[in-house]
Amino acid sequence: MPAVTGMRALVTGASSGIGAATADALAAKGATVLRTSRTITGPGSFACDLASDVAPLAAWAGDVDLLVLNAGLGHAGPFADMPPARIPELFTVNVVSQLELARALLPGMIARQRGHLVLVSSIAGAMGVADEAVYSATKAALRSFADALRLEVRTVGVTVVHPGVIDTPFFDRRGTPYTRRRPRPIPAMDVAEALVAAVEHNRPEIFVPSWLRFPARLNGALPALVRTLQRRFG
Ligand SMILES: NC(=O)c1ccc[n+]([C@@H]2O[C@H](COP(=O)([O-])OP(=O)(O)OC[C@H]3O[C@@H](n4cnc5c(N)ncnc54)[C@H](OP(=O)(O)O)[C@@H]3O)[C@@H](O)[C@H]2O)c1
């Protein structure tokens, strides 16, 4: 079982929310943690806009044992009203830059026969969410990428994390606050702790909270039923 103690980890989106909690949880377990985001400051951190070239970030990070691809942004509202420029923006930050970073750092992990890749997707990556069509598509892309890569690379762990509603600035930042009473947002540290445990147990996929795996599995098995339920209760 790969312990995170002693690992050299790079966390994207580490200035806030799930990324900050994950970086703290890894450091508490004895990992050496490298943090990146646009606004991050302090020792062991590298400020970088993932919408630009990721090569300087990869060069700064060097050899890492654990890469947590977490940075991301959302957009809520009807697709037909979405400003067209938001589409490439979401795909660039949520998908393209993350995969470019994986492409830069994975060969070293393969050569050392040691490493783990974590992709922070969303429950929206496992089933459609109304008014989040493009966001859902970016998160599903991460999941599909992980499923394929896992078959290709046997010596490197690949974990997909599907958070539900988490108490972070994510909703305010996307411009549409979370106003539903249920499900209630849960702390970012719950995701961080589940993520770290998933790395330690080399789990391919986790849902946080864990009950979310049931609607996701049901959607895979009986999509027409889930569509009906979502239209009626969503
Ligand atoms: N909160 C939820 O309910 C929820 C649910 C499911 C999935 N997720 C996913 O979880 C991940 C983390 O989200 P969060 O809830 O922790 O949100 P958050 O608090 O808004 O954190 C997002 C992080 O991404 C960074 N980031 C955004 N744009 C960037 C860019 N262009 N370049 C570099 N870094 C950038 C931000 O840092 P800077 O602003 O400093 O760049 C920040 O550290 C995201 O991928 C999100 O889609 C969140």
> Which of 48, 118, 168, 191 should be mutated for ligand 1, with most atoms under 8 A from CB?
168
135: annotated active-site residue? yes
Please tell me the distance from the alpha carbon of residue 130 to that of residue 127, in angstroms, as a whole number. Answer: 10
| Predicted local distance difference test score (pLDDT) of residue 74 | 97
| Predicted local distance difference test score (pLDDT) of residue 1 | 64
pLDDT tens string, the chain, 234 residues long: the values are 679 999 999 999 999 999 999 999 999 999 999 999 999 999 999 999 999 999 999 999 999 999 999 999 999 999 999 999 999 999 999 999 999 999 999 999 999 999 999 999 999 999 999 999 999 999 999 999 999 999 999 999 999 999 999 999 999 999 999 988 889 999 999 999 999 999 999 999 999 999 999 999 999 999 999 999 988 887
Cα 60 to ligand 1 centroid, rounded to whole Å: 21
Which atom of ligand 1 lies at the shortest distance from residue 124's CA? Answer: 6
In the CATH hierarchy, which fold is given to the domain comprising 8-233?
Rossmann fold (3.40.50)
Cα 226 to ligand 1 centroid, rounded to whole Å: 28
Cα 222 to ligand 1 centroid, rounded to whole Å: 31
CA angle 154, 210, 225 (to 5 degrees): 100
Q: Could you say which of 23, 57, 120, 135 is catalytic?
A: 135
pTM more than 0.95: yes
DSSP 63: S
Please tell me the distance from the alpha carbon of residue 6 to that of residue 8, in angstroms, as a whole number. Answer: 7
Question: Is residue 209 within 8 Å of 189, Cβ to Cβ?
Answer: no
Query: 27 by DSSP, 3-state: which?
Result: helix
Which atom of ligand 1 lies at the shortest distance from residue 51's CA? Answer: 31
Please tell me the distance from the alpha carbon of residue 120 to that of residue 55, in angstroms, as a whole number. Answer: 21
Distance in Å from the first CA to the final CA of the chain: 40
Which protein residue's CA is at the shortest distance from atom 42 of ligand 1? 13
Cα 234 to ligand 1 centroid, rounded to whole Å: 24
